[in-house]
Amino acid sequence: MNDYIIVKTTAGRIKKGILSVPVSLIDSFPKERGLISILLDNSPKVYHMHYSPYESSTRECRINGLERWFGKHNAQGEENIVITIIDKDKFIYRLCFEDDYLNRVNLLSQRFIKSSNETTAENNLTNLSKWTGKDKKLIVINQLQIIVEKPAEEWRSLIITAPSIRRERTPVCLKVLLGEVYDRKCQICQYTFQKRDNKYYYEIHHLDPIKGNNPKNLIVVCANCHCQFEYAEVTKYFNIEDWLIFVKMNNLMTPVKQVLSKNSEIVKSI
C-alpha cells in the first residue's frame, strides 16, 4: 500500500489553513473555483471546503479552510498529508496525515488477515478498498503478490486427519483473495454457481498437501474439478516461476488461468 498520494505542507501554508494540490492531480479536481467535499481522517463527516483551481490567480490548486484541522493535529513545519480520491466525478476526497493513514491501513489489513469467516473477510477487504481509494481487484493482486514472497510456514495451518495424512486448511483471508481475483470461478473450467445466499460457490485445492498455503500451491476450483484432482489420472504442468499453467485430467489437456504469471512455457510436470 505504498503507492498513495502525498502532499508536503509548509509552516506558512499550515498557518493559513491551505493545502496545495499537486499539478499531477488537477484532472481529478474541478476546473472551476467552488466547494468540494472533504472527509478528514477516519471521520464519515463531510466538510464543504473552498477550492481554487490551477487556472485561478494563485496558479496552483488549493484547498482552503483547514486551519482547525491542522491545529487539532498540532501540525508544524513540514507535514505529509495523504490525499485519497473517493469519487472523482462528485469531487469527494479524504485528507489524512501520513502516519495516521498508514496506521489505519495496517489495522484494516490485520483485521482482514484475522477474519474468522468469509463474510467478515469480504467486508474487511471492502473497508480496506474504501480507505485507500483503490479498486478491490488491485488490492487483492497486491496482497497475493506479498503472500507469494512469504515463507510457507507463515501461512501453514495443518489439520491432522490421520497419523500419516496431513491436510492444509486455507486461511479465510487467503481464500477470499483468491476468490476475488478469479471472480469465484474455477481456474480450469471457469464454472461456478450461485448459492441460496446469492454468493458464488468455489473451493480451494492444494496442489501439494505438504507445501503450505503459498498462492503458487493453491488453485480455485469447482467441486467437479476438485474431485478430479483427488481421484482422476492427473498430470500437472508448471512454468519456470513454479505456477501451474496446464493440467491433464484423464488425457484431457486444459490451460489453467493464472493472474500473477503470464509465462506459458512448460518447464516441468508432475
Average pLDDT, consecutive stretches of 10 residues, N- to C-terminus, the chain (270 residues) = 80 92 84 93 94 72 93 90 92 95 94 92 93 90 83 53 50 93 96 95 93 91 95 95 95 94 85
Confirm whether 61 is domain-assigned. yes
Domain co-membership, 160 together with 60: no
pTM: 0.79
pLDDT at 93: 94
Residue 146 falls within a domain, yes or no? no
CATH of the domain at 69: 2.40.330.10
Do 163 and 92 have their domain in common? Answer: no
Q: What is the pLDDT of residue 73?
A: 94
Strand order in the sheet with 19-21: 5-8, 80-87, 92-97, 34-40, 46-52, 61-63, 19-21
Residue 108 belongs to some domain of the structure? no
**Domain membership flag for residue 170:** yes
Q: What burial class does residue 219 get, using C-beta atoms within 10 Å of its C-beta: 0-12 exposed, 13-18 middle, 19+ buried? A: buried
Query: In this structure, is residue 107 part of a structural domain?
Result: no
Are 75 and 157 within one domain? no
Residue 31 structural domain:
5-98
Query: Domain end: 68, 98, 128, which one?
Result: 98
Residue reference for cell 493535529 = 73
**Residue 269, pLDDT score:** 86
If one counts the domains in the chain, the total is: 2
166 and 262 housed in the same domain: yes
Residue 174 lies in a domain: yes
Q: Are residues 187 and 263 in the same domain?
A: yes
In a domain, 130, yes or no: no
pLDDT at 263: 86
pLDDT computed for residue 149 by the predictor: 78
Q: Do residues 88 and 10 share a domain?
A: yes
